[in-house]
Chain A
Amino acid sequence: MPVKRAEKTAMPVREALARAHDFVEVNSGYTPMQASFESERCLRCQDPVCVDGCPVNVPIPDFIHAVADGDMASAAKILRSANPLPAICGRVCPQESQCEAECSMTKRFNPVAIGHLERYVADWERTQPLTVKPNITRKEKIAVIGAGPSGLVCAGELARLGYPVKIYEALHAPGGVLRYGIPEFRLPKAILDWEIGVLKAMGVEIECNVIIGRTITMDQLFDKMGYAAVFIGTGAGLPQFLGIPGENLNGVMSANEFLTRVNLMGGYKFPENDTPVKVGKRVAVIGAGNTAMDAVRTSLRMGAEEAMIVYRRSEKEMGARVEEYHHAIEEGVKFNWLTNPLEIVDDGSGWVSGLRCQKMQLGEPDASGRARPIAIPGSEFVLPVDNVILAIGTTPNPLLTRTTAGLLTNKKGCLVADEKSGLTSKTLVYAGGDAVTGAATVILAAGAGKRAANAIHEALGTRASR
């Protein structure tokens, strides 16, 4: 038996300067030896607090023990029973603030690399032949709106429960933010395609290019098309802008636009693919969440000589996963902390020539609980840049709520839904994911999709027995 090590087994990564110019995945995954070694670091706690740190309560020690025992089939089964998107969550979950934050090893050493092991198990599972089959035992048809994380998981769970399910997707390809937002170098699209393949093998139908609320209304889903229940997983896709002067200059984009051009439309292969992506020599990305990291690292890969983050708070308040931050540093991304953008500067012909900023210092905590940034007088300066990409957050898309009477939203435009069941203000209409919470994580969306599926099952079950 290997000696328990204090240090987490490092994830093998591709060399920074090589990977910063292509879209191949940065992390290459544990070898069987590394996975075995890391799994032995788990202390097998009596009271596994890591499980409480997981939004979907994956039985973490159980699957890690199965890895340690070399029983990969059991590990995969245990993992998937709680998390329907393990290969994706193993890559994109902020483990450091969830399961790994609670790990007992964290108190004295480094936490067990739960995320890396999750990825290892899920990647093994993908090498195995698919055994799932459709098992439709129920008459009631369910419609799922949006093929993002919550919709995919909800559909999968409903199919498992025996329902015929159809997912309606507005774009030409399923996946939602996993398709248009998260870049290939962090989440290879082949993984997403495999997960979608599993759903299809379970009998889930996916119809793209259908915009519920426009092509078909919510009421038509029930009245004309005979659906018994609907799940809304339309996400939070509407990009926010700062409202500072110069935002309409050519060369200013939302991170959503930039990432969609690259990821969904394959713009990195222009002109072989038709959608162009224009990146100048110097790119400033405003914001410091995961989307900002994706945008700034994608800028480097699209040929920017210098790519930088501009953030009005400090490193401590940054929203990005720590791994993405470290990878960004390794790849040469520059960070302008405590820097508040004031104006995007016109080069005289309507294109961006710079970003006028002021330096900030941190004051008392604000409403979000984070230290409030306060401007330092006389600290204004201009960063010379060719592009400004805004990654300051997104809000739920209003398209469905605007066209559906009786579907209530809160002040922020988020759907009002019961925390446990996801039931909205409309009978037999459920919702989950970013459309309810505002921009959050894949795992929270997955958890909400799964809970809503079970709530739908319960609601319909009750009806059938009447």
Chain B
Amino acid sequence: MARIIETRRLTPVTKLYRLDAPLIAASAQPGQFVMLRVREGGERIPVTIADYDRDRGILTIVVQEVGATTKRLAALDAGDEILDVAGPLGGAIELPAKGHLCGIGGGFGSAALLCLMREYTARGYKTTAILGARNKDLLILADELKPLCDSVQVCTDDGSAGFKGFVTQRLAQLIEGDGPGRPDYVVAIGPMAMMRAIAETTRAPKVKTLVSMDPLMVDGTGMCGGCRVTVGGRPQFACVDGPCFDAHEVDFDVAMRRNKAYVNEEKIARERVDCMAARKELQ
């Protein structure tokens, strides 16, 4: 059980949760995730760790309401308990020699940049965060990230905030030397399509790039193999071998196809929760 200390709505479909989880907060590292379950009979879902406060024992996660479990989670608020939270799982992001790290967050993936930027700024890296959203209302955590890194670059599809265009276009400009300049490392966290586009953007200029894979998982501890991702032609388990992999080695076609394996079932479960919410039966 983990008690929710505070919640904050970031967008109409995204919510931030601060949890009382001292053991996880004490050992969490950038790039890792937790598995959570919100009710008996509920599924286990992986959620990327957004941030942690070791001293206060607080774990921060940001969750977008896309399916049955995330919608049930959204019905919880400060004072409520999340039935199961287990972690931190997966390997931490470890970068070699100091340099310029560019963290790219798409949609709610921006949340995971909080601990990544704070940690690597502290380690003496030059840090840039590129945040992408469809419009300024869907942009999250830009103000929180500003004090944590050297530069925050905002991109919106419609130009309602910052650079008008995709994160990949802004990244290409940086690689050319614009703004904070060419990164030595890129870490991308967000929708699979965005991560794939970033991999293509950095491939030719040979910028070392990690992507945080988000495949379907059942247990998250290495037991089911459902999260296998093809990396460099070899199967890897995202939960124990990842979740971050070399973007230029990942087979995104397979990963995107595999993530659609249960779309029909996910729809059934989601609609069921929507009906229950409409009848005020959640909780």
Q: Chain A residues in contact with chain B, CB under 8 A? A: 170-172, 180, 208-211, 214-217, 237-239, 241, 247-248, 250-251, 253-254, 256-257, 260-261, 264-266, 269-276, 278, 350, 397-399, 402
A-contact 0/1 string along B203-223, CB 8 Å cutoff: 000000000000000110111
**Secondary structure call for the A interface:** loop
Interface-centre pick from B86, B230, B237, B268 (highest chain A CB count, 10 A): B86
| Interface size range on B against A | 35 or more
Specify which of B24, B86, B88, B258 is in contact with A248 (CB 8 Å cutoff): B258
**Secondary structure call for the B interface:** mixed
Specify which of B235, B262, B269, B272 is in contact with A247 (CB 8 Å cutoff): B235
5 interchain pairs, CB-CB under 8 A: A209-B84, A238-B225, A251-B261, A257-B224, A402-B240
Is A256 a contact of B265 with CB atoms below 8 Å? no
The verdict on B78 contacting chain A, using a C-beta distance below 8 Å, is no
Is A350 a contact of B42 with CB atoms below 8 Å? no
Is A170 a contact of B86 with CB atoms below 8 Å? yes
Interface-centre pick from B219, B262, B268, B269 (highest chain A CB count, 10 A): B219
Q: How far is the CB of A120 from chain B (nearest CB, A)?
A: 32
A-contact 0/1 string along B223-238, CB 8 Å cutoff: 1111010100001010
Residues of B within 8 A of A251 (CB): 261
Instruction: Given contact pairs A210-B86, A260-B224, A276-B268, enumerate 16 new A-B contacts (beta carbons under 8 Å).
Output: A171-B86, A210-B23, A214-B88, A215-B23, A215-B27, A215-B87, A241-B228, A251-B261, A265-B218, A269-B41, A273-B43, A274-B41, A275-B44, A397-B221, A399-B221, A399-B240
Is A276 a contact of B257 with CB atoms below 8 Å? no
Known contacts: A214-B87, A248-B235, A274-B43. The answer to whether A238 contacts B265 by CB under 8 A is: no
A247 to B233, CA, bound (A): 12
The verdict on B68 contacting chain A, using a C-beta distance below 8 Å, is yes
Is B23 a contact of A273 with CB atoms below 8 Å? no
Residues of A within 8 A of B84 (CB): 172, 208-209
Q: How far is the CB of A270 from chain B (nearest CB, A)?
A: 7
Is A257 a contact of B226 with CB atoms below 8 Å? yes
Q: How far is the CB of B30 from chain A (nearest CB, A)?
A: 14
Q: Chain B residues in contact with chain A, CB under 8 A? A: 23-24, 27, 37, 41-44, 68-69, 83-89, 218-219, 221-226, 228, 230, 235, 237, 240, 254, 257-258, 260-262, 265-266, 268-269, 272
Residues of A within 8 A of B69 (CB): 274
Specify which of B23, B222, B226, B261 is in contact with A216 (CB 8 Å cutoff): B23
Q: How far is the CB of B97 from chain A (nearest CB, A)?
A: 24
Residues of B within 8 A of A253 (CB): 224-226
Q: How far is the CB of B44 from chain A (nearest CB, A)?
A: 7
Q: How far is the CB of B131 from chain A (nearest CB, A)?
A: 29
Known contacts: A211-B87, A274-B42. The answer to whether A248 contacts B219 by CB under 8 A is: no
Is B225 a contact of A254 with CB atoms below 8 Å? yes
Residues of B within 8 A of A247 (CB): 235
A270 to B262, CA, bound (A): 12
A170 to B24, CA, bound (A): 13
A250 to B235, CA, bound (A): 14
Is A239 a contact of B89 with CB atoms below 8 Å? no
Residues of B within 8 A of A241 (CB): 225, 228, 235
Is B223 a contact of A270 with CB atoms below 8 Å? no
Residues of A within 8 A of B223 (CB): 180, 237-239, 256, 260, 397
Is B240 a contact of A398 with CB atoms below 8 Å? yes
Is A248 a contact of B221 with CB atoms below 8 Å? no
